[in-house]
Amino acid sequence: MYFNGSWDAKFDPLYTKINTFHLINGGSVQTNFMASSEKQFIAVYDGFKVLKLPYKQGQDFRQFSFFIFLPDASNALPNLSMKMSSEPDFINRHIPTKKVLVGNFRIPKFKISMGIEFSKIFKNLGLVLPFTITGDLSEMVDSLEARQYYVSQIVHKCFIEVNEVGTEAAAASAAILRAGCAPPIGKPIDFVADHPFLFLIRDDRSGVVLFMGYLLDNLQSSS
The pTM assigned to this predicted structure is 0.71
Confidence of residue 119 (pLDDT cuts 50, 70, 90): low
How open is the CA angle 153-154-155, to the nearest 5 degrees? 110
Mapped onto helix, strand or coil, the DSSP state of residue 2 is strand
Range 168-174 contact pairs with CB under 8 angstroms and sequence separation of 24 or more: 168/3, 168/4, 169/2, 169/3, 169/4, 169/201, 169/210, 169/211, 170/1, 170/2, 170/3, 171/1, 171/211, 171/223, 172/1
Q: What does the pLDDT read at residue 111?
A: 75
Average pLDDT of the segment spanning 51-68: 84
Average pLDDT of the segment spanning 122-150: 57
pLDDT surpasses 50 at 222: no
pLDDT surpasses 70 at 117: no
Which value, to the nearest 10 degrees, does the dihedral of the CA atoms of residues 29, 32, 35, 41 take?
-70
Say if CB 21 and CB 30 are below 8 A apart: yes
E strand residue ranges, the chain: 2-6, 17-22, 28-35, 40-45, 48-54, 64-71, 99-100, 102-108, 110-117, 155-162, 166-173, 189-192, 197-203, 209-215, 221-222
Question: Which of these ranges, 2-6, 38-42, 214-218, has the smallest mean pLDDT?
Answer: 2-6
Q: Which residues pair with 79 in a beta bridge?
A: none
Average pLDDT of the segment spanning 43-68: 87
- From residue 14, give the alpha-carbon distance in Å to each of 18, 36, 97, 111, 207: 12, 10, 28, 20, 34
Domain coordinates in residue numbering, the chain = 7-109+184-222
Mapped onto helix, strand or coil, the DSSP state of residue 145 is coil
Assigned architecture for domain 7-109+184-222: Roll (2.30)
- Comparing 217 with 87, the larger pLDDT belongs to 87
Say if CB 210 and CB 63 are below 8 A apart: no
Question: Which of these ranges, 2-11, 43-52, 72-81, 128-137, has the smallest mean pLDDT?
Answer: 128-137
